[in-house]
């Protein structure tokens, strides 16, 4: 996910750290999204995992990426880290009997969808797998907005399935970045979907 020269990097590539944190956050959300457990204890347990791994790992990865002059990775990870903090607050609030305001959350989800669609296009210039990763996030937000607008519960299971797929894809990319340099092309990692436009002289 790097768009900087390794020679100018301050830190080692933090992308695997951010993706592993995201995967653990998705794993914490999966039982709740699937309806396997929705007790206050489950909500509070998932909340702290979202805060520490989803928020903490991604914030660290984002700030390290920005220090490495990696604009795309740094922007995505840092912004998404605060989204995980929001997940922590929402889960904690629901566990305490406070339901977040529907209208405010719908407005934020629509804004997030617009942001992630633009980021998806940008990541298509780096790798098809990163492009697919962002497409999963886009689809999650499309379903979340549709569910919020219509009030249907029919999209709950597709959102849960996408949460699991997002976590698995994050692990795949992280393992590719960590293990492929050591073991060869162990994990499939395709090249860019789009070609960058030639620079004007």
Is residue 191, in this structure, part of any structural domain at all?
Answer: no
Is residue 4, in this structure, part of any structural domain at all?
Answer: no
Is residue 189, in this structure, part of any structural domain at all?
Answer: no
Cα–Cα dist 116/39, whole Å: 31
**Residue 9: what pLDDT?**
85
Is residue 34, in this structure, part of any structural domain at all?
Answer: yes
Could you list the residue range(s) of the whole structural domain that residue 80 is in? 13-182
Is residue 24, in this structure, part of any structural domain at all?
Answer: yes
Residue 5, number of CB atoms within 10 A of its CB: 9
Closest by CA position to 61, among listed 92, 91, 24, 31 = 24
Residues of the chain with pLDDT under 70: 1-7, 198-201
Is residue 8, in this structure, part of any structural domain at all?
Answer: no
**Residue 6: what pLDDT?**
57
Give me 103's structure tokens: 């209208």
**Residue 161: what pLDDT?**
98
pLDDT tens across 97-148, in order? 999 999 999 999 999 999 999 999 999 999 999 999 999 999 999 999 999 9
- Please tell me the pTM assigned to this model: 0.93
Mapping DSSP onto H, E and C, the string for the chain reads: CCCCCHHHCCCCCCHHHHHHHHHHHHHHHHHHHCCCCCCHHHHHHHHHHHHHHHHHHHHHHHHHHHHCCCHHHHHHHHHHHHHHHHHHHHHHHHHCCCCCCHHHHHHHHHHHHHHHHHHHHHHCCCCHHHHHHHHHHHHHHHHHHHHHHHCCCCCHHHHHHHHHHHHHHHHHHHHHHHHHHHHCCCCCCCCCCCCCCCCCC
Is residue 167, in this structure, part of any structural domain at all?
Answer: yes
**Residue 8: what pLDDT?**
75
**Residue 34: what pLDDT?**
96
Number of separate domains in the chain: 1
**Residue 199: what pLDDT?**
65
Is residue 29, in this structure, part of any structural domain at all?
Answer: yes
């Amino acid at each position: 996910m790097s768009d900087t020269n390794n020679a100018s990097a301050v830190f080692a590539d933090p992308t695997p750290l951010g993706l592993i944190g995201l995967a653990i956050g998705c794993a914490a959300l999966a039982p709740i999204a699937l309806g396997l457990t929705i007790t206050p204890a489950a909500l509070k347990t998932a909340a702290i995992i979202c805060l520490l791994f989803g928020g903490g790992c991604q914030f660290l990865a984002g700030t390290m990426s920005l220090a490495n002059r990696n604009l795309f990775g740094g922007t995505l990870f840092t912004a998404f880290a605060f989204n995980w903090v929001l997940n922590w607050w929402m889960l904690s609030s629901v566990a305490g009997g406070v339901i977040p305001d529907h209208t405010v959350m719908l407005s934020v989800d629509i804004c997030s969808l617009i942001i992630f669609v633009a980021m998806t296009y940008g990541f298509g210039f780096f790798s098809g797998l990163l492009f697919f990763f962002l497409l999963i996030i886009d689809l999650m937000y499309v379903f979340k907005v549709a569910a919020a607008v219509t009030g249907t519960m029919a999209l709950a299971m597709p959102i849960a399935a996408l949460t699991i797929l997002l976590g698995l894809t994050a692990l795949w990319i992280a393992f590719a970045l960590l293990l492929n340099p050591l073991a060869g092309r162990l994990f499939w990692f395709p090249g860019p979907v789009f070609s960058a436009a030639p620079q004007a002289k």
